[in-house]
A and B are shown apart, each in its own frame.
Chain A
Amino acid sequence: MDVINLEPTEDTPKVILDKDRQVFEISGRSLPEDAAEFYQPILDWLDEYENQVNPDTKFMFKLEYFNTASSKLILDILSKLEEIEGASVIWYFHEDDEDMEEAGEEFSDLVDIPFDFKTY
């Protein structure tokens, strides 16, 4: 499967989706003007991955900021992960960032996947 490897920018996160290396990561800042456009290739990648999943998929979110437009797309990603057997989320938040911790808790309420919370 192709690897998605996007360098972070001022308004988009770093993204690595690499089945062979078992790295699934979105980190940094997500405030693109058009979140739907930015996240579409990631959702497409997950659709393809769903047909050839690894035994387990630890998907890591380590976000510093995300805008409300991105929140819907993050939920779309989580909903795709819900369909993937053996998928779980590792939600990182800075130890001083209660809002990011709470955001993770809210996402975990909305989908049925195990969440592991970690601070950095």
Chain B
Amino acid sequence: MKYIYDLHKVMLKQSLLLVYEGEFNQEITKSVLAMAERNMDSFGEQRKVKTKVFNVMMECIQNIVRHSESYQEDIYGKNNAIFSLAKTDDHYFVLSGNPLFTTDIEKLESRLKEINLMDKLALKEEYKRIIKTGRIDPVRGGAGLGFIDMSRKSGNKIRFDFEKINDELSFFSLRMTIDRNPNAGGDD
């Protein structure tokens, strides 16, 4: 049972406040958000920061819910993904990972790169453009609006990468950074 201790050490080393791995749905979303919120309240995080972290977590998890499919259930179970919140002295990190079809990477990657090239004002205009003109599909979301919102609220660029799982699947990892001292400015 050494893996329990190993897991504990990884969590401490990476400053992980919470990790959820498994199926994602709306009930789980509410539970994870409530847990993270109580956690931040327990050490009196300032409201401004807490609100941003909550917002980013909310979009991140709902993105997973919207896009989760059952990929090769024998390997991944049903709608499986991982979500985590980490805290250091200066930052919160909202982390997520989920499998996707390798053929879907190109489109996602180019959209994320586009979003990362936008400054604050461009993100604002893009957000307004999408909510005004873009029909948001209730199931699949709309044109990366979730990523745009996460990027705006976090004030930092989206970090992401893809790892090959097998011939068909890859693993998409996402990291959003929220500064604990927002007035100090982001990494942009």
What residues make up the interface of A, taking CB atoms closer than 8 Å to B?
A: 10-11, 31-37, 64-65, 67-69, 71-72, 75, 94, 96-100, 102, 106, 109-110
Alpha-carbon distance between A11 and B65 when the two chains are bound, in angstroms: 15
Question: Chain B residues near A33 (CB, 8 Å)?
Answer: 26, 29, 62, 65
Which of these, B46, B48, B62, B127, contacts A67 with CB under 8 Å? B62
Q: How far is the CA of A75 from the CA of B131 in the complex (A)?
A: 8
Closest to B135 in A: A72
* Shortest distance from the beta carbon of A40 to any chain B beta carbon, whole Å: 11
Residue of A nearest to B54 (CB): A65
B47 interface residue, CB < 8 Å from A? Answer: yes
A10 pairs with B34, CB closer than 8 A: yes
Q: How many residues of B contact A (CB 8 A)?
A: 30
Q: Specify which of B48, B132, B136 is in contact with A110 (CB 8 Å cutoff).
A: B132
In the assembled complex, which residues on chain B have CB atoms less than 8 Å from the CB atom of A10?
30, 34
Contact across chains for A11 and B138 when beta carbons are under 8 A apart: no
Give B162 Cβ to nearest chain A Cβ, in Å.
23
Cβ contacts B117-156/A at 8 Å (1 or 0 each) = 0000000100110011000101001100110110011000
**Pair B131/A65 contact, Cβ less than 8 Å:** no
Contact call B51/A110, Cβ cutoff below 8 A: no
Q: For residue A65, which residues in chain B have a CB less than 8 angstroms away from its CB?
A: 51, 54-55, 58
- Is B52's beta carbon under 8 Å from chain A? yes
Is B59 part of the binding interface, using a Cβ–Cβ cutoff of 8 Å?
A: yes
